[in-house]
Amino acid sequence: MYFDKILIANRGEIAVRLIRACHELGIAAVAVYSEADRAALHVRLADEAYPIGPAAATQSYLSVERIIAAAQRSGAQAVHPGYGFLSERAHFARACAAAGLVFIGPPPEAIELMGSKIAAKHLAEQAGVPTAPGYMGDDQSPARLRAEARRVGLPLLIKASAGGGGKGMRVVRSLAELEPALEGAQREARAAFGDDAVFLERLIERPRHVEIQVLADAHGACVHLFERECSIQRRHQKIVEESPSLALSPGLRAEMGAAAVRLAQAAGYRNAGTLEFMLDAHGRYYFLEMNTRLQVEHPVTEAVAGVDLVQLQIAIAAGAPLPFTQADLSLRGHAIEVRIYAEDSVTFLPATGHVALFAPPAGPGIRNDAGLTSGDEVTINYDPILAKLIVAAPTRAAAVERLRCALAEYAVLGVTTNLPLLRAIVAHPAFAAGDTTTDFLADAGLPYAEDVTSVIPADVLIAAAIGDMLATSADARSVGADPWRAGAWRATGAAQPQRYRAGAHEHVVYVTRGSDRWRAYVAGADRELRVLASGSAELVLEHAGQIERFMLAHSGAETLIAWRGTSYALTRVAGLSVDTLGPRGHGPRGHASLEAPMPGTVIKLLAEEGQLVEAQQPLLVLEAMKMEHVVVAPYNGVVQKLCYRPGDLVAKGAVLAELDAGEAE
């Protein structure tokens, strides 16, 4: 069988990755898109694109009927699901087959079997693959789960049987935490996977998370492509992945690889899949689950094994045998991947907004898998992953240094990202030493908040002023231009004051332009500079023999700058004195208006109006991107008002509740 057209049933960076793989094979790629993705990068790159419904994933990317209809309309012979959405839904694989379409993935029976973590663990035990102690029974009654939790012992991990990605997962360290943890895990699992079944597992303290990539064809061959270590996680979701793992000896690597192949064959598996394990400090490993799809972190394996997993997936789906045996495969160098998310680096809450600038690094040994470009919008409708940065080098030390340099160059302006956290991880001595357990962030004292408002470096303020003046003067010279900044700079030789606000602070920069030099003064810094390069997004300045590169963008009244790995947002101020702006008020003493930290849906109220509450007591539960976020009281007080009810949609910054401490004192 040969494919000349494949439909990509996904979006974002993985859709872009799949489209490019198709094009490299000479296969036409068909995209599908929701109303929110009409102008998305994957739509622009595809040979054809078809609308499949509203922004809500349940009415578009999760609609089997609409995707099948688009595939039939396009004349595609096969469908690649990518990861997420319908990629691990057996009924979608069956629907493809019923429509005469080849599903590029495993058989629906294998998806069904391994998609149930409970059934997968039973199969692992039968195949002689170690599993952690736990409860995987069909009886999901609260009484049985409580009894089994006591039997398994603490600390305990509650996990959704039907899914992964950290959804439906809770850690329980005391019996008092058990009841709310069970309720929350089941509720989140039901919302994310349509199935609230959970299983209990004894929590292995300070483990490493190691997974094995497997490939199986339709002719009985199955191989492993070594491991990826994915120990560094936030909210039980991976953010750093690498291969090989420093924790595996050659013998242990071969043993775990053989166990993965054995389990995949027992499941009747075909195509690409990943088996995940926990590895304790003594080298004992325990099977966790199997992901019956391509993984987010597959580029790490591609780098060290010298293969293209997507092209191999397509070939296997077309009936081709594996082009190599286990003996043909070997590890080559070291690779590390980091995931760039639109989220706060401290709270991990998702972020949305207009991407004013997206400028990933480039160079030898650097790969970028991205699903967006400058000018795109990041919405609340989908997973907040924006891109992946992958580096490869002959040794781990060289790969870490390459990653550090690449992250310092990475610029995303207009949307909050986790880049500060990733840079802090890579700079940490424990990461350099390879001491990476699932407790890495806590052990390293991460995340921490970057202060990018109270102290703005003089270099940043000067670059903003020069960049703005260059942009404004260029606009003023354009016929019919509508300059975005009032008071366009004029080359009069007089110092031009440029005012900016960052947080509660205002800064004034005085800039004069000479024939080939610039003079800038701000807060005691008096500098003579040369502009070596300037473009739509780049500004290179030289001062006293030192050259600095800045990335700039504009969003409304803000000048956005990336410099030395940190992003700054400066609000341009016109006609205000430096003394007129002070710290903003915080309302009456003892009164708090609790604002939504991100847009989402109120799913549960945990307090009532008039109720006396204690500090850190949960008040309500907000859901965004299928993850729950609990809003708590900042101090002891009385709930004066609950502004929303379950089911209500709220915007970021919306007042959710009002709390008064006066009556509690």
Which residue from 290, 131, 132 is spatially nearest to 211, judged by alpha carbons? 290
Question: What percentage of the chain reaches a pLDDT higher than 70?
Answer: 92
Helices (H), ranges, 25-74: 41-45, 64-74
Q: Which two tokens stand for residue 268?
A: 């009747």
Residue 25 pLDDT > 70: yes
Taking residues 505-515, report their average pLDDT.
88
DSSP 356: S
Residue 336 pLDDT > 70: yes
- Encoded amino acid at 112, one letter: E
Q: Which residue has the higher pLDDT, 79 or 191?
A: 79
Q: Which residue has the higher pLDDT, 479 or 601?
A: 601
Please name the residue that has the structure tokens 């907000």: 622
Say yes or no: domain 206-328 is CATH 2.60.40.3140: no
CATH number of 591-664: 2.40.50.100
Taking residues 187-195, report their average pLDDT.
88
Which residue from 611, 614, 630, 610 is spatially nearest to 622, judged by alpha carbons? 630
Give start-end residues of each CATH 2.40.50.100 domain in the chain: 591-664
Q: Write down the pLDDT at residue 479.
A: 36
Give CA–CA dist 297/451, Å, rounded. Answer: 31
Taking residues 389-397, report their average pLDDT.
99
Q: Write down the pLDDT at residue 584.
A: 26
Give start-end residues of each CATH 3.30.1490.20 domain in the chain: 133-202
CATH class of 133-202: alpha beta
Q: Write down the pLDDT at residue 640.
A: 94
Residue 347 pLDDT > 60: yes
Q: What are phi and psi of 276, to 5 degrees?
A: -105, 140
Choose from 69-83, 598-612, 629-643 the range with maximum mean pLDDT. 69-83
Question: What percentage of the chain reaches a pLDDT higher than 90?
Answer: 73
**CATH homologous superfamily of domain 333-450?**
ATP-grasp fold, B domain (3.30.470.20)
SS3 state of residue 234:
strand
Residues 223-280: pLDDT tens digits?
999 999 999 999 889 999 999 999 999 999 999 999 999 999 999 999 999 999 999 9
Q: Write down the pLDDT at residue 495.
A: 67
355, with CB counted inside 10 A (0-12, 13-18, 19+), is buried
Helices (H), ranges, 239-282: 250-266
398, with CB counted inside 10 A (0-12, 13-18, 19+), is middle
Please provide the average confidence, as pLDDT, over all residues in the chain. Answer: 90
Catalytic center residues: 293
Cis ω on the peptide bond leading into residue 155 (within 30° of 0)?
Answer: yes
* pLDDT category of residue 578 using cuts at 50, 70 and 90: very low
Please name the residue that has the structure tokens 């332009």: 513
Q: Which of 30-44, 353-367, 487-501, 561-575 has the lowest mean pLDDT?
A: 487-501
Please name the residue that has the structure tokens 């999901």: 140
**Contact criterion met (CB below 8 Å) for 540 and 526:** no
Q: Give Cα 238 to chain centroid, integer Å.
A: 8
Q: Which of 483-492, 586-595, 617-626 has the lowest mean pLDDT?
A: 483-492
DSSP 371: S
Q: What are phi and psi of 399, to 5 degrees?
A: -65, -40
Give start-end residues of each CATH 3.30.470.20 domain in the chain: 206-328, 333-450
Give CA–CA dist 179/454, Å, rounded. Answer: 43
Please name the residue that has the structure tokens 């398994």: 152
Say yes or no: domain 5-104 is CATH 3.40.50.20: yes
Q: How many CB atoms are located within 10 Å of the residue 187 CB? A: 17
Say yes or no: domain 458-573 is CATH 3.30.700.30: yes
Give start-end residues of each CATH 3.30.700.30 domain in the chain: 458-573
